[in-house]
Structure 1
Amino acid sequence: MDIVHHNSGAWDQQSKQGSRWSQPVTSKEIEAARNGEWNVILTPNKNVPHCWFDSLPGKNLLGLASGGGQQIPILSAAGARVTSFDNSQEQLDKDQNVAQQNSLEIKCIRGDMANLSVFADNHFDIIFHPVSNVFVQDLRPVWQECFRVLKNGGRLLSGFMNPSFFLFDHSHADKTGELKVRFRLPFSDIDDLSEQEVQSLVDKNVPLEFGHTLEQQIGGQLQAGFLLKDFYEDDWDDESTPLNKYTTTTIATLAIKLL
């Protein structure tokens, strides 16, 4: 199965249906960002510390799998020179629509986050990469490509799922409210679910997911050459998962490219 192609179409559908991550910011929020009043998120709830960006005005920033008309237009309005790179054309269109409505300059390119070959080496000052690598089978090329396209001293701001999330049978939890450990890590929809369960996801055009270990997430960044500078955890909400009552479900990291 072509995972990249399937997830592209699945996210197009989610975007059209107005998922939480597909609701564009308002012109009022854009104007506030122009005046220095802004916040963005890598994870569901916590705002990213402004110090993680060092400074934004004039910086060349890549929004990696961050489409949807939310974070990218805000970062553009705050002064960054922004490129949005996403696997979903619908999500990119929302970035572009907000840009056109508010006289922002945002370059939008559709593609796979594991292949940034359209960009030269040492091209960006900042990469902003919210929770999204859950839709990628192999993280190694993602981190390697991020390292390649960042300038020396560049910053990689990433959000990702807490691996513990994927231990549980969330389909069972949705039906019963009971958290039941079912899977080993790392997790893969296509390898760990039954054929019938996978086919049901495909038929419903639901994005296919992969639960990566901390070694793959944090160790992968370090192995690509990054140095880890900061870290925080975040929760979600009880409606999204009953696991939220017991532990944080997402993680954010700030990594630096130093040669």
Structure 2
Amino acid sequence: MVMGEAAAHDLPNSLRPEARTVHEFRLNGISLSLPAGLATPEILSKLGDGTYEADEARSADRCVRPGFRVLELGAGIGYVTAMCAKRAGPQNVLSVEANPALIPVIEANLARNGLSGVTLVHGAATGHVEEGATADFAVSEGYTGSSLDGKGRAVTVPLISVHDLIRAHKPHVVLMDVEGAEADMFNRVWKCPLRFCVMELHPKKYHARTIKKIVDLMSAMDMTYDPVTSRGKILGFRKVWGAGDAPEPLEDDGEGEA
């Protein structure tokens, strides 16, 4: 049956014929596909010229090493996820994404790169939450910029405590792009063998004291500013090793403070 123009126009965006078109790209050796229904012209342009998530990709290249455990908060379409999995091993990567429409996209992109062993969790990472808690997540056009306190179509998503994720995964690297939710994640020291943490700050969404709280907590965990991964709103930290200290072995159980 051929669908008439008026009927197609009445369909939700995700079901329209043009939404079934898939765009394909290759960045830093990672093969990516993206349904047209999720792509804005700006996203497609950045994917096409190689500038898509360039700072995040550089951070992954800087921080992630073979055998490191990686916690990624805000996976997008799985580009940086795949880079981390390729370097550290898929079994060492735990990625969290709140937008339900992106979960199958991430899974497909990991599969096409032979990296399906990544642990992918659907939910919005935040600070302390009660078990089973949910919240409305605002999905913006084109998916970038979606957040718990943003504008757009609201979908109900599980809330996940960052402290539970850290306790379970004991990451050496944390990569974070959660559109302002990071403000609630720095109320107590993370107990893990943390070596690098890179996040995108959102100063328009919280007071400068929140940024100070983040910096102070990182300092309390013997983390210092990392000029290699920091740029603009991207703020990177790395572990401070004493002159006679050796890095923790990868088999460390992570029970001590980072």
> Which residue of the partner structure matches residue 89 of structure 1?
100
Structure 1 pair 219/256, CA: closer, same or farther in 2 (3 Å)? farther
> Which residue of the partner structure matches residue 133 of structure 1?
179
TM-score for both structures, normalised by structure 1: 0.50
The counterpart of 1:212, out of the listed 191, 206, 212, is 206
Task: Give the paired residue count.
Answer: 165
Secondary structure of 1:57's counterpart equals coil
Alignment of 1:237-256 (within 5 A): 250-256=233-239
Secondary structure of 1:152's counterpart equals coil
The answer as to 2:83 corresponding to 1:74 is: yes
Deviations 1:193-245 (A, max 9, x none): xxxxxxxxxxxxxxxxxx123321242242363433324333xxxxxxxxxxx
Please tell me the root mean square deviation across aligned C-alpha atoms, in Å.
3.9
- In the alignment, the residues of structure 2 paired with residue 98 and residue 75 of structure 1 have an alpha-carbon distance, to the nearest angstrom, of 13
Structure 1 pair 220/158, CA: closer, same or farther in 2 (3 Å)? same
Secondary structure of 1:66's counterpart equals coil
- In the alignment, the residues of structure 1 paired with residue 121 and residue 111 of structure 2 have an alpha-carbon distance, to the nearest angstrom, of 16
Shift of residue 61, structure 1, vs aligned partner? 0.5
Question: Which residue type is aligned with residue 143 of structure 1?
Answer: F
The answer to which structure has the higher helix fraction is 1
Unaligned runs of 5+ in 1: 1-12, 32-37, 167-210, 235-249
The counterpart of 2:122, out of the listed 110, 118, 135, is 110
- In the alignment, the residues of structure 1 paired with residue 236 and residue 187 of structure 2 have an alpha-carbon distance, to the nearest angstrom, of 16
Question: Which residue type is aligned with residue 107 of structure 1?
Answer: T
Alignment of 1:114-193 (within 5 A): 114=126, 115-116=161-162, 117=164, 120=167, 123-130=170-177, 132-134=178-180, 136=181, 139-140=183-184, 142-144=185-187, 147-148=189-190, 151-161=192-202, 163=203, 166=204
Unaligned runs of 5+ in 2: 1-12, 32-49, 127-160, 241-256
- In the alignment, the residues of structure 1 paired with residue 74 and residue 28 of structure 2 have an alpha-carbon distance, to the nearest angstrom, of 24
TM-score for both structures, normalised by structure 2: 0.51
Shift of residue 84, structure 1, vs aligned partner? 0.9
Spell out structure 1 runs of 4+ moving beyond 4 A: 38-44
Structure ID, larger Rg: 2
